[in-house]
Every structure is written in C-alpha cells, then in structure tokens.
Structure 1
Amino acid sequence: LIVDDDIRNVFALTSVLEQHGLAVLYAENGREGIEVLEQHDDVTVVLMDIMMPEMDGYATTTAIRRMPQFAGLPIVALTAKAMKGDREKAIDCGASDYVTKPVDPDHLLAVMEQWMHGG
C-alpha cells in the first residue's frame, strides 16, 4: 500500500513495484490509507509519505500502530525532508524503516524485501 498525496510519486513507485510482481494499492492521504488497510487485510507492507495534508505520515503511522491487527505490519516512511531527527521521529511513531526521496528503487526494494520476509 502506497500512501502519498503526490500522484507522480504513486505512479513512479507503482511502476517499479509492479515490474517486480507486486500488487499495489494506493491512498492519497492518511485517513484514506487507514480505510484501504481496513478493507484489505492482506497488505504486506506500507510505503508512507511523511509530508501530507490533513493527516501526515507520522500521525497515520501512529494511528495504524494503535490497531492491534496491524501491530506487526511493516511501514516504511518515505520523505524528501531528510532533516536530522526525522528518521528517529518516524521510528518513534512506529515506522519499521525510513527511506529518503528521491527514492532509489533498488534500495527501496531491498528494504521492503527485508521487512516482508521477517524484518
């Protein structure tokens, strides 16, 4: 599941992931992301943009972690805002890992692989 308000990022990530045989769902904001998760209990990893209107990636990750059925779901935070402390803040909110934008597809796939197969 990709949660990102920038449709260009969604298209770029979807293209890479589908080339690697992964089915992709997406949501444009945090609230929608939570709704999609609740409707699809087979999601294996979430790629969470941090900077989004309405409900940012930190708040969305925190909300997902409060839901017992998603306690172990890998959530990879994605952000262009690679400031000191951002990684720690994402992890503190419950993210499993953190990848900076622009996303290096090979690095992202390696991170996803690691979390989808045992963390």
Structure 2
Amino acid sequence: MAEALRILADEVLPVTPVIDVARAEAEHEPLTRGWGMGPLWSGSLEEATAVLRRSLEHERRRPDFRYFQIDIEPKKFCVQLDSMCGEPSTVLGKPLYAFAGYRMWRGADRVFLCGHERATL
C-alpha cells in the first residue's frame, strides 16, 4: 500500500493537468451518476494521502483482496478531452475480479478525491 500511494503522489499526479474547482466538479458529476461514487473531497496532498490510506487499509484487510493498481485515466473516463486523473484501485475477488476505485485530480492548491460508495473519505 505504501508503494501504491508513493507512485500516485510522486509519479502519477505530477503528470496530470492542474484543474480548478468547477472542472473537478464537472469531472466528478458523471462518476456519481454512472459509478455511484461518493462525494468530492479536497485538501492538501498530504491530507488526501492520509484519507486514501485509511480507505485502502480497510480494503487490504478484506478476504477477497488481491492487489492495488494505480492508473492514469485519460480521455475515455473523463469529461474533457485533455483531462487526466490518477486512479488508485483495489482489485478484489476470486475467480471473478472487481475493483473498488478512486479518482484523484490535481488542483493549483489542493487535490480533489472521490471514491466508491464504501470509501471512508
């Protein structure tokens, strides 16, 4: 889990575009409708990492936990064509795989974060 969070903070988020609050809300809205994502949260990178760590730790203890996956989600899942976000996911299940996903966007002075309905953001 520590390595997944390090990759997200040090390698993925720095290459995503900086967006403002309105853009973060626009990116979040279809995720709420289509994927049942919880509310949009924002704070410093350190706060976001601590919040995400709590959720991932909870998921790591599930009996169907497989591994963490960190992606950069480009155009196909985001509203604007130039939008990208970090997507930390917990891969669950055996033999069928499911995932519990989160989305993280970089703002000028904060990070925006949302998670699936069970997330503890």
TM-score (norm 2): 0.33
Structure having the larger proportion of residues in helix: 1
Higher strand share: 2
**Structure with bigger gyration radius:** 2
Which has the higher relative contact order, 1 or 2, with Cα contacts under 8 A spaced 6 or more apart?
2
Structure 1 length normalisation: TM-score? 0.33
